[in-house]
Copies of this chain bind each other. A is one copy, B any other.
Amino acid sequence: MDAKTDDYLPLRAADCHLLMALRRGEMYGYALLQAMADDSSGVVTMDIGALYRALDRLMRDGLIAESGRQDAEPSRGRPRRYYAITDFGREVLAAELVRLERLVALSHGEAR
Contact = CB atoms under 8 A, between A and B. Distances in A.
Contact of A43 (B43, B99, B110, B112): B99
Given A23-B112, A100-B103, 6 more contacts: A6-B43, A20-B103, A20-B110, A23-B110, A40-B103, A101-B104
A13 interface: yes
Interface of A: 6, 9-10, 12-13, 16, 20, 23-24, 39-41, 43-44, 90, 94, 97, 99-104, 106-107, 110, 112
Report the copy number of this chain in the oligomer: 2
Nearest to A94: B112
Contacts of A12: 12
A41 B105 CA distance: 14
